[in-house]
A and B are shown apart, each in its own frame.
Chain A
Amino acid sequence: MNFYAVKAIYRFEMTRMFRTVVQSIIAPVLSTSLYFVIFGSAIGSRITEIDGVSYGSFIVPGLIMLSIMTESISNSSFAIYFPKFTGTIFELLSAPVSYGEVLLGYVGAAASKSVIIGTIILTTASFFVDIEIAHPLVMIWFLLLTCVSFCLFGFILGIWATGWEKLTIVPVLVIMPLTFLGGTFYSISMLPPVWQTISLFNPVVYLISGFRWSFYENADVSVGLSLGITVGFLVVCLLIVRWIFKTGYRLRG
Chain B
Amino acid sequence: MISIKGLTKTYAGGFHALKNINLEIRRGEIFALLGPNGAGKTTLINAVCGIVTPTSGVVLVDGYDITKDYRRTRGRIGLVPQELTSESFETVWNTCEFSRGLFGKSANPEHLETVLRSLSLWNKKDTISMQLSGGMKRRVLIAKALSHEPEVLFLDEPTAGVDVELRQDMWNVVSALREKGVTVILTTHYIEEAEQLADRVGVINHGEIILVEDKDKLMRELGKKQLVLNLQTPLAGVPSQLADYQLELSEDGQELTYTYDTMRKSTGITALLGDLRAADIHFSELHTSQSSLEDIFVDLVKKSP
Q: Are A90 and B102 in contact, CB atoms less than 8 angstroms apart?
A: no
The total of interchain contacts (Cβ-Cβ below 8 angstroms) comes to 85
Q: Are A90 and B87 in contact, CB atoms less than 8 angstroms apart?
A: no
**Whole-angstrom distance between the Cβ of B18 and the nearest chain A Cβ:** 11
* A73 CA to B245 CA, complexed, in Å: 77
Considering only CB atoms and an 8 Å cut-off, how many residues of chain B contact the other chain?
36
| Closest residue of B by beta carbon distance from A93 | B51
A95 in the interface (beta carbon within 8 A): yes
Partner of A19, one of B50, B73, B89, B106: B89
Q: Are A91 and B102 in contact, CB atoms less than 8 angstroms apart?
A: yes
Q: Among B51, B71, B75, B105, which residue has the most Cβ atoms of chain A within 10 A?
A: B51
**B residues less than 8 Å from A88 (CB atoms):** 85-87
**A residues less than 8 Å from B144 (CB atoms):** 91
**Whole-angstrom distance between the Cβ of B152 and the nearest chain A Cβ:** 12
| Closest residue of B by beta carbon distance from A3 | B104
B49 in the interface (beta carbon within 8 A): yes
| Closest residue of A by beta carbon distance from B81 | A90
* B-binding segment of A9-17, A37-45, A55-63, A173-181: A9-17
**A residues less than 8 Å from B86 (CB atoms):** 86, 88
- Contact-size category for A: 20 to 34
Interface residues of B in 22-64 (CB under 8 A from A): 43, 46, 49-53
If A19-B89, A97-B102 touch, whether A90 touches B71 (CB-CB below 8 Å) is no
A96 in the interface (beta carbon within 8 A): yes
Q: Are B94 and A94 in contact, CB atoms less than 8 angstroms apart?
A: no
Q: Are B70 and A96 in contact, CB atoms less than 8 angstroms apart?
A: yes
**Whole-angstrom distance between the Cβ of B242 and the nearest chain A Cβ:** 57
| Closest residue of B by beta carbon distance from A16 | B89
**A residues less than 8 Å from B105 (CB atoms):** 4
* A4 CA to B88 CA, complexed, in Å: 22
A224 in the interface (beta carbon within 8 A): no
* A246 CA to B43 CA, complexed, in Å: 20
**B residues less than 8 Å from A46 (CB atoms):** none
**B residues less than 8 Å from A192 (CB atoms):** none
* A96 CA to B67 CA, complexed, in Å: 11
Produce 1/0 per residue, B203-228, CB < 8 A to A.
00000000000000000000000000
**A residues less than 8 Å from B87 (CB atoms):** 83, 86, 88
Q: Are B102 and A5 in contact, CB atoms less than 8 angstroms apart?
A: yes
Q: Are B51 and A4 in contact, CB atoms less than 8 angstroms apart?
A: no
Q: List 18 A-B contacts (CB under 8 A).
A: A2-B104, A4-B100, A4-B104, A5-B102, A7-B101, A8-B100, A9-B102, A12-B94, A12-B98, A15-B90, A15-B94, A91-B79, A91-B102, A95-B74, A96-B75, A252-B52, A253-B11, A253-B53
Contacts A4-B106, A8-B101, A86-B87 given; 19 further ones with Cβ under 8 A? A4-B101, A8-B102, A15-B90, A19-B89, A83-B87, A90-B81, A91-B102, A93-B49, A94-B74, A95-B103, A95-B104, A96-B73, A96-B103, A248-B53, A252-B50, A252-B51, A252-B53, A253-B46, A253-B52
